[in-house]
């Protein structure tokens, strides 16, 4: 369960990254494709070369959606409802306990490389919990 402190830490951390959504998103996706090649199977229609417009565009989309989630942490289910439908019925990404977990790991790595020591155990814990909560909401409608 996200505590008040967790939410504060997440908002603070997100505030520090201001404006870099596209870069962070693109790097997260690139790392994910590199470290977990099976995740590429969801993007057969993409140009998956480094720095491709599609990776940049999609990365920005993903991180922007996370930003929306962060603004609505008290009501994730409703805030992510459309995305939840999309992932469950259209995209049918492997249940979030698998593939979205790789995205979460790579996002954390990107944040850690940018924030260094500031990516403290408390921040790490809060972000990990948040990403689990997001994955759980996205999985709500799978079956």
The dihedrals phi and psi of 56, each to the nearest 5 degrees, come to: -65, -45
Q: Return the number of other C-beta atoms located less than 10 Å from residue 127's C-beta.
A: 21
Does 51 sit near another protein (CB under 8 A)?
no
Nearer to another protein, 21 or 27 (CB): 27
Q: How far is the CB of 99 from another protein (least distance, A)?
A: 14
Does 122 sit near another protein (CB under 8 A)?
yes
Under rule CB under 8 A, which residues in 16-35 are in contact with another protein?
27, 30-31, 34-35
Nearer to another protein, 115 or 136 (CB): 115
Q: How far apart are CA 73 and CA 124, in angstroms?
A: 17
Residue 32 tokens read as: 């994910």
Q: How far is the CB of 89 from another protein (least distance, A)?
A: 29
Under rule CB under 8 A, which residues in 77-116 are in contact with another protein?
105-106, 108-110, 112-116
Exposed, middle or buried, 55 (CB in 10 Å: 0-12/13-18/19+)? buried
């Amino acid at each position: 369960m996200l505590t008040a402190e967790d939410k504060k830490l997440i908002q603070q951390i997100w505030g520090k990254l201001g404006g870099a959504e596209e870069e962070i998103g693109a790097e997260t996706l690139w790392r994910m494709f590199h470290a977990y090649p099976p995740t590429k199977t969801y993007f057969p229609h993409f140009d998956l070369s480094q720095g491709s417009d599609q990776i940049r565009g999609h990365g920005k989309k993903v991180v922007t959606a996370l930003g929306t989630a962060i603004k609505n942490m008290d009501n994730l289910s409703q805030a992510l409802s459309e995305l939840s439908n999309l992932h469950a019925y259209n995209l049918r990404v492997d249940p979030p306990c698998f593939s979205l977990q790789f995205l979460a790991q790579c996002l954390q790595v990107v944040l850690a490389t940018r924030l260094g020591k500031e990516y403290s155990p408390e921040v790490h814990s809060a972000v990990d919990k948040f990403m689990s909560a997001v994955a759980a909401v996205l999985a709500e409608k799978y079956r």
